[in-house]
Amino acid sequence: MKTPTGWETAFAARLFDLLSTLESSALIGLAKSRVRGLGEQLAFACLALGASEGLAALESSATTHLWVPVVASRSGHRELGKELPFDGTVLSHVLSGGSTYAVSIEPGDESLRCFEGWLESAPVSALTVPIRVGERVVGGAVFFADEAPFSDEKIEMGERLSEVLGLTAEAFFTERMLFELFASALPELLGKDAATSLPQKLLSHLRSMRVTETYRQRIKLATTVGKLTSRSALEGQLAEQVLRVFEGYVTSLEGGEPA
């Protein structure tokens, strides 16, 4: 068996890092899509319930806090990425196994103190629903009204909306589980004592890519453009214009409309 050289060992280590980064980036991209989808669901729920704002809080890796990815209103949503304690909030009831409920909010209510700076208006009532994956409560959603309390009809509607939010939450936790599984399995698959031929196959494939003439031309072109654009902003703008014209030319040859 051929003993790997120092270069091959270093290359394998960099390949390991690269694959980890690519996988992380892919999962982060999926997570962002989930956050965006959750925000759209909350915005729709605000419209349906007549709520001024709403947010969802999900289990995080910390045992004492929830993760609040997004807050929404009838006009849209914005990413938040904050943590919320388990206890002492309007969500505490559903997190401990309670059902959907609505409450009136008095000025200075302690259960809203942790939301300070998150909401755009002062609510007069809140509607809280549990978020379940299967039979387990994994978080909750709370909708705020700044004009009138929630009616019985709105409370019933909130219960149905919580089922939809549960499906999105399930996707969150599935992706997190896959990420953790990949992170734990990667050293076994690409380490020096790996039982599979995956490391050798990846190295062979990348080496074959690096020696092709097309690859060399692309690297040479990228290096040339990089040198030109590093001189000043003017050269950078010129290179961008030239590449845009070239892209339009190629698109027209393919039968498309230039951008």
Strands (E), the chain: 53-59, 65-73, 76-85, 101-104, 125-133, 136-145
Highest mean pLDDT among 29-38, 107-116, 121-130: 121-130
Q: Are residues 45 and 101 in the same domain?
A: yes
Is residue 173 in a domain? Answer: yes
Q: Are residues 103 and 148 in the same domain?
A: yes
Q: Are residues 146 and 221 in the same domain?
A: no
Q: Are residues 219 and 170 in the same domain?
A: no
Is residue 192 in a domain? Answer: no
Tokens of 208: 């074959």
Is residue 244 in a domain? Answer: yes
CA-CA distance, 240 to 14, in Å (whole number)?
Answer: 31
CA-CA distance, 101 to 93, in Å (whole number)?
Answer: 9
166-197: per-residue pLDDT in tens?
Answer: 887 777 777 666 666 666 666 666 666 666 67
Q: Domain of 157: which CATH number?
A: 3.30.450.40
Residue with tokens 């001189």: 231
Strand 136-145, strand 53-59: pairing = antiparallel
Domain extent for 240: 212-253
Place 25 in a pLDDT band, splitting at 50, 70 and 90. Answer: very low
Is residue 200 in a domain? Answer: no
Buried-exposed string 92-109: b where 16+ CB fall within 10 A, e elsewhere:
ebbbeeeebbbbebeeee
Buried-exposed string 21-59: b where 16+ CB fall within 10 A, e elsewhere:
eeeeeebeebbeebbeebbebbbbbbeebbbbbbbbbbb
Is residue 69 in a domain? Answer: yes
Tokens of 157: 């509607």
Count of alpha carbons within 13 Å of 207, Cβ hemisphere only? 10
Number of domains in the chain: 2
Tokens of 181: 């599984």
- If you average pLDDT over residues 236-247, what whole number do you get? 83
Q: Are residues 42 and 152 in the same domain?
A: yes
6: pLDDT strictly greater than 60: no
Q: Are residues 245 and 180 in the same domain?
A: no
Q: Are residues 25 and 72 in the same domain?
A: yes
Q: Give every CB contact of residue 259 below 8 A, 6+ residues apart in sequence.
A: 244, 247, 248, 251
Tokens of 254: 């393919």
Average pLDDT, the chain: 76
pLDDT at 127: 93
Q: Are residues 140 and 234 in the same domain?
A: no
Model's pTM, two decimal places?
Answer: 0.58
Q: Are residues 48 and 164 in the same domain?
A: yes
- If you average pLDDT over residues 213-220, what whole number do you get? 72
Is residue 198 in a domain? Answer: no
Q: Are residues 32 and 117 in the same domain?
A: yes
